[in-house]
A and B are shown apart, each in its own frame.
Chain A
Amino acid sequence: MNRLLPPSHRLPGFILAHAALLAGACFMLLPFVWMLLTAIRAPDEILTGGLNPIPRSFHAVENFSGALAQAPLLNFMLNGAIVCAGILVVQLIVAIPAAYALAKLRFRARGLLFALVIAGLCVPIQVPALPLYLALAEFNLLDSYFAMMLPFFLSVFAIFLFRQTFKTFPDEIIHAARVDGVGEFEILWRIVVPSAFPAIAAFSIFSIVAHWNDLYWPMIVIQRLEYAPPPLGMLFFTSSESGASYGVLMAGATIITAPLVIVFLIARRRFVQGITMTGIK
């Protein structure tokens, strides 16, 4: 085994592995580092270009206040939070009972529902986008939080994941609860759901990251800036030619990127667990 070899035999591999990993890590972190450095740099220094990493003068206050003044960044984030929360709550309310029915109850539509769920896994949002847009336009619902949330109220993926989880819940406990006269609704929400917390947390992270970062659908249904979620707001921000200097732009990018990155740094284990459990981006 490797660990039985004298250290001198392991050293080249050790150095090689670290060299490769560090080179890759530099590539991965370069945009973040350069974004932060540029966000605190003065405009004249940015315009001379160059590789000097350390800013000569500290211009952070001007850049960040400039970013907040040029675009309602905090408003974008509030929109993002409202949309993500609305989507997640409805997804859970719809998917949990359906998944429980698929996992533990016998009814005639069960086979049909499961087949539809599996088929639904193969249909990305871009497919129903056009008819849904036409329907929302017909009812004058474009440019609203509802329009941004509607296509995602149903997550067939959540139904699928929760079904797999609920299936492993012991039937004996459910039977015992029924014998004790506990209603089926209570069994689901007070007994089964708490036991499935890891799967629900994993799905919640997946859902929030996906919808916080989604650009395609908001770009279609939102024209008015006041409803824009972070990615769409950022798109307006980058394309507004109103003299947005790169320092201000990078400060804006920092503000937009910060929330999810901070949440990730705090809850790193849950993120990783969420991905290995769901495996879908």
Chain B
Amino acid sequence: MTIASASAPFPPAAKRQGFRLSGEALGTLFAVPALLLITALILAPLVCLLALSLTDYEIGAVSIRWLGLGNFEKALSDPVFRRSIGNTLLYVALVLPGGVFLGLLVAVLVHGRKRSRGFYEVAYFLPVTSTLIAMAAVWQFLLHPKLGPINSALKSLGFAERAFISEPELLIPTLAAIGLWNLIGFNMVLFLAGLAAIPRDLYDAAEIDGAGGPVNRFLTVTWPQLAPTTMFVAVTTSITSFKVFDTVAVLTRGRDGSEVLLYAIYLEGFQYFKMGYSAALTVIFLVFMLVFSVFQAFQLDRRVHY
């Protein structure tokens, strides 16, 4: 094993080369820029954030008052903030099952294709690479009540036209549909990698055991074999959808019915400059993210291998 030799990084022969840094000094030297940046860009801001969240600090205010947990109490009783949490969770609840199920479905179907596989891969993956802000503007036009093709199609099919981006109860479902459009190709690629890793002979064995037919094969082999991939996709999808921001910024600017957590943080902190309150909301956001991310970090460790 190579691990044993790694514990003696400098063989005696190296000493002939005159001055050399020891492993200790060298390791520290290589790690120092990263350690400094972690301190400056993550640790120090985190401490500041926690401190700010306990104050009423506003940019331009003359004095700062210590509020203790006042900001958190205010947030939890603020109907706008509660709505933004509710909307964000509703958005996740729509995008998570849809994103995992549709990503898996598309991947299984694409996996079986030979000549047309390249075309479908491109078609489904294109939304992932495109700039979401620009495409959100396109969606706004597609969904336009008078000018957009979607409402024209609805009308020609005999339905009433709907204002997808102004009727409050339609806002989150519309945003979720765009979110799915943006995400399915990404999940498809992850599932395709998972499918490629399933050994062929498992299918042959299932065949012998009498599990013929596509549905049976999926249930007895594909689905159990994909369990780790599915878990991973579910976690990344939760994280991505919990951070919904871009489409809200373009389509609704957080109007009634589309308040989401990140947009609320943005508005309070960087439009109204209520830094203390915004910091408290960020801490709440961080708690949600930690729950998702702890899962992800554990899985990354198992995933990234060659």
- Chain A interface (Cβ < 8 Å from any Cβ of B): 1-2, 13, 17-18, 20-21, 24-25, 27-32, 34-35, 38, 46-47, 49-51, 93-95, 97-98, 100-102, 104-110, 112-113, 116-118, 120-124, 126-135, 137, 150-151, 153-154, 156, 159-161, 164-165, 168, 170-172, 175, 178-179, 181, 184, 188, 209, 212-213, 215-216, 219-220, 230-232, 234-235, 237-238, 246, 249-250, 252-253, 256-257, 260-261, 263-265, 268, 271-272, 275-281
Of the listed stretches B71-79, B146-154, B219-227, chain A binds B146-154
Which of B27-35, B81-89, B90-98, B163-171 lies at the interface?
B27-35
Interchain Cβ contacts within 8 Å, total number = 331
Q: Across the two chains, which residue of chain B brings its CB closest to A233?
A: B133
- Min Cβ gap B62→A in Å is 16
Contact residues in B for A24 (Cβ distance below 8 Å) = 102, 106, 124, 184
The distance from the CB of A118 to the nearest CB of chain B, in whole angstroms, is: 6
The one of B14, B26, B38, B286 in contact with A154, judged by C-beta atoms closer than 8 angstroms, is B38
Given A122-B293, A130-B278, A238-B137, CB of A105 within 8 Å of CB of B30: yes
* Contact across chains for A133 and B265 when beta carbons are under 8 A apart: no
Name the residue in B33, B45, B127, B156 with the highest tally of chain A Cβ atoms < 10 Å from its Cβ: B45
Contacts of B303 in A (CB 8 A): 279
Which listed residue, A13, A110, A268, touches B27 by the CB 8 Å rule?
A110
Bound-state Cα–Cα, A165 to B16, Å: 31
**Alpha-carbon separation in the docked complex, A168 to B23 (Å):** 19
CB pair B266 A230 closer than 8 Å: no
Q: Size class of B's contact patch?
A: 35 or more
Complex contacts, B254 vs chain A, CB 8 Å: none
Which of A98, A154, A279 is B236 in contact with, Cβ under 8 Å?
A279
Contacting pair B41 A105 (CB below 8 A): no
A265/B122 in contact, CB under 8 A: yes
Contact of B45 among A131, A260, A280 (CB under 8 A): A131
Q: Which of B2, B132, B138, B304 contacts A34 (CB 8 A)?
A: B138
Q: How far is the CB of A207 from chain B (nearest CB, A)?
A: 14
What chain A residues lie within 8 Å of B285 (beta carbons)?
Answer: 126-127
In the complex the two chains form, what is the Cα distance from A59 to B10 in whole Å? 70
Instruction: Confirm or deny: B48 has a beta carbon within 8 angstroms of a beta carbon on chain A.
Output: yes
Q: Is the CB of B2 within 8 A of A216?
A: no
- Chain A proximity of B119: nearest CB distance (Å): 8
The 5 A-B residue pairs with the shortest CB-CB distance, nearest first, are A107-B27, A128-B45, A122-B293, A98-B34, A105-B27
Contacts of A164 in B (CB 8 A): 304-306
B63, CB-defined interface residue at 8 Å: no
Q: Are B245 and A130 in contact (CB under 8 A)?
A: no
List, in ascending order, chain B residues with CB within 8 A of A49's CB. Answer: 144, 146-149, 151-152
> A235 with B250: in contact, given A34-B138, A105-B9 (CB under 8 Å)?
yes
* Contact A271–B125 (Cβ < 8 Å): yes
Contacts of B113 in A (CB 8 A): 17, 21
